[in-house]
Structures are given as C-alpha cells and as structure tokens.
Amino acid sequence: MTSATQSTIINGVNLSTEVAGVPLASYVLNASGPRCTSAEELKIVGESHSAAIMTKSCTILPREGNPEPRYQNLDLGSIQSMGLPNLGYKAYLEMIPTLKQHGKPVIVSVSGFSIEDNIEMVSAFQQSAVDLIEVNFSCPNIPGKAQVAYDFEQTEQALKAITALGDKPIGIKLAPYFDMSHFIAMADILKQYPVKFITCINSIGNSLVIDPETEQPIIKPKGGFGGLCGEYIKPVGLANVRAFRELLGDDVQIMGVGGINTGVDAFEYLLAGADAVQVATCFEKQGAACFERIETELAQFMAKKGYTSLEDAKGKLKPL
Ligand code: RRO
C-alpha cells in the first residue's frame, strides 16, 4: 500500500522520487538511528519535511541498550554504541496506523539477533500497513554479535528466509565495505533474491576515539569501540553507493546515508546513484528542521545548474 504523496518542487526542481515502488515526496528522509525510537519522536518526524517516517531498528523484545556514556558528538560527526535501544517490534506494529495519518510512507527497521527473530518480525510487518521493511544486517554494537553483512553465508541464508514472507518490499541496510571483492560478493548474493532496495551505509563499526587528557575512550560500551558517523564517513558512503549502483544496475534502489549535512552532500549522493538519502547525525545534532534545509539547499544547487528533476543527475557521475 502506498501513500497519496505530493511532489516537493522548490525553485523549479522536482525532488520527488520512488523507492521500491513507493513514492516519496522528496529525496531526504530520516535514517534509522537518532530521534526515531519513541512515539513522540516519530510524531516529530511525521510533522517534519522528512519524506518518510523511518523507525529505530527494533528487536523482538524491548531493550534499554548499552550502558552510558554511549553517544558523543565529535567535530565532524559522532561515535556511538547505543546497543539497539527500542520499544520492541510489537510497539511499532501498534503505532503504524497512527504514523500513517501523517500521509507519508512509513518504513520500519528490523534488527533481529537471529534468522528466526527476523522471520517473526518481518512476517508481522508484512501483515501491517507499513510501506517498506528495512532489515538491518549491520548493527556493530552488540557485544558478542557479528555483523551479518560481513558474513556472506549468513546473509544469503537470511535473505532466502526473509524475502519469502510476503509482497511488501524488503530492503537491507548494509555495513560499509572497503574491498572490491566484497562489493562483488554482496552484489552477487543480492541479485539472487527479491531485495528491492539497499541502504548504504551503516556506521563504520568498531572505531575508537580516545581522550588524551583522561587517557580513556569517550564511550563506555565495548571498551570504547563504537560506530563512527557523520561527515567523517561520507567518502565511504559515496563509494558504497557508487559501487553497488554499478554492480546492481537500476533494478535495486539505493538509499544513501553517511555524512549528509547539506544539500550539496545530498547532490553528491545523487551523482553516485542514490535514489533517496537518509540523515542521521545531522538530525541528531540539529533536529527536524534539517530536512527542509537540506531539501532547499539541494534544489537551489540543482537549479543553479539548470536541472529540474533528480533524474537529470542521478548516477551521472562524470569520469575525470
Ligand atoms: O543501536 C545501535 O547501537 C546501532 C545500530 Br542498531 C545500528 O544499526 N548502527 C549503529 O551504528 N548503531
């Protein structure tokens, strides 16, 4: 089921897009991550210019998450090890009818600890009014749990199971990759299953920031190892979007995420081939006004270049 979505046209530039057959009024939405866990936070996303309402990744049972301090701002981003704090998937299932009243697509993020968990949650959301299901294969912050996206065998088994549970489009949130052989291996797996979109990238996991004065890490969980976010990771996000766009062609939509603070950042993701972009750290730091600002800046930048729609530049990175 899709929402009756209007197009956002600013300075003559139409920012409307589509992901897995679901129309989005604009190119910019919130990422699963900050400020999207509680009903109050999701209401604020609903009332903002975010093109959709994306939930925090959920698990079977509610979770408090990791011990604090677990989030720290940095000059060019943040480091965090939240540990999947969420209300449990049943709470998000119940919220969907209310969230849908905002008149924009609702996307649920699920992050089970096993294939069985993901089957239970995806099956439940397949029976709901949610528009898209993003399955998170890349949370780096659960002590003792490897990221599924770095285990190609497990990824394949999980995809086989979760793409056979209903007709609602399934997407996968991927970890960042750093080697061409990994891009190729993952693309070859994705092509075998009806994965309708991918989200690139999750945070750069197991990063370490040290305070030289205190001689300590700046976050507590996992000895200070956490996910690096924000501007630091934009070049990695762009490369992942670009690599998968080239390997997957236009059959699979790509949501870009990682270091989008300005409309020009969003434009760079558009050139790399992203169909939409998600904003995490900037939303955490600036609040919900960031969506309208980024949209306006994107449209102004594109208008200056004479572009009138996203298609004019999507994937059209020029060779040097
Ligand atoms: O909650 C987290 O610690 C978290 C998740 Br689920 C994720 O997917 N990525 C991340 O950087 N943090």
Note the pLDDT of residue 55: 99
162 is in an annotated binding site: no
Residue 1 has pLDDT above 70, yes or no: no
240 is in an annotated binding site: no
Give the Cα separation of 260 and 119 in Å (integer). Answer: 32
Ligand 1: atom nearest CA of 85 is 1
C-alpha 128 – ligand 1 centre gap (Å): 24
Backbone angles phi, psi at 225, to 5 degrees: -75, 125
Alpha helix stretches (DSSP H) within the chain? 39-47, 89-100, 115-126, 152-162, 180-191, 234-248, 263-272, 281-286, 289-304
Ligand 1 pocket residue status of 258, Cβ below 6 Å: no
Give the Cα separation of 280 and 267 in Å (integer). Answer: 17
C-alpha 65 – ligand 1 centre gap (Å): 10
Q: Tell me the best of 80, 148, 206 to mutate to test the pocket of ligand 1, counting ligand atoms within 8 Å of each CB and taking the most.
A: 80
The whole-chain average pLDDT of the chain stands at 97
33 is in an annotated binding site: no
**Confidence band of 3 (pLDDT split at 50, 70, 90):** very low
Ligand 1: atom nearest CA of 82 is 3
Ligand 1: atom nearest CA of 205 is 11
Give the Cα separation of 120 and 123 in Å (integer). Answer: 5
Give the Cα separation of 97 and 54 in Å (integer). Answer: 14
pTM for the predicted model, two decimal places: 0.98
**Confidence band of 6 (pLDDT split at 50, 70, 90):** confident
**Confidence band of 5 (pLDDT split at 50, 70, 90):** confident
C-alpha 156 – ligand 1 centre gap (Å): 21
Q: Give strand pairing partners of 63.
A: 86
Ligand 1: atom nearest CA of 86 is 1
Note the pLDDT of residue 9: 97
Asked whether the beta carbons of 297 and 276 are under 8 A apart, the reply is no
Cα torsion 223, 227, 232, 237 to 10°: value is 150
Q: Please give the C-alpha separations between residue 116 and each of 85, 125, 182, 262, 317, in angstroms, as whole numbers.
A: 20, 14, 26, 39, 40
| 63-81 tens-digit pLDDT | 999 999 999 999 999 999 9
| Closest protein CA for atom 5 of ligand 1 | 139
Note the pLDDT of residue 57: 98
| 93-152 tens-digit pLDDT | 999 999 999 999 999 999 999 999 999 999 999 999 999 999 999 999 999 999 999 999
Three-class SS of residue 224? helix
Give me the domains of the chain, ranges plus CATH numbers.
9-66+85-206+230-312 (3.20.20.70)
Ligand 1 pocket residue status of 203, Cβ below 6 Å: yes
Known catalytic residues are 139
96 is in an annotated binding site: no
Ligand 1 pocket residue status of 84, Cβ below 6 Å: yes
What is the DSSP pairing of strand 216-217 with strand 197-200?
unpaired
43 is in an annotated binding site: no
Note the pLDDT of residue 101: 98
| 253-300 tens-digit pLDDT | 999 999 999 999 999 999 999 999 999 999 999 999 999 999 999 999
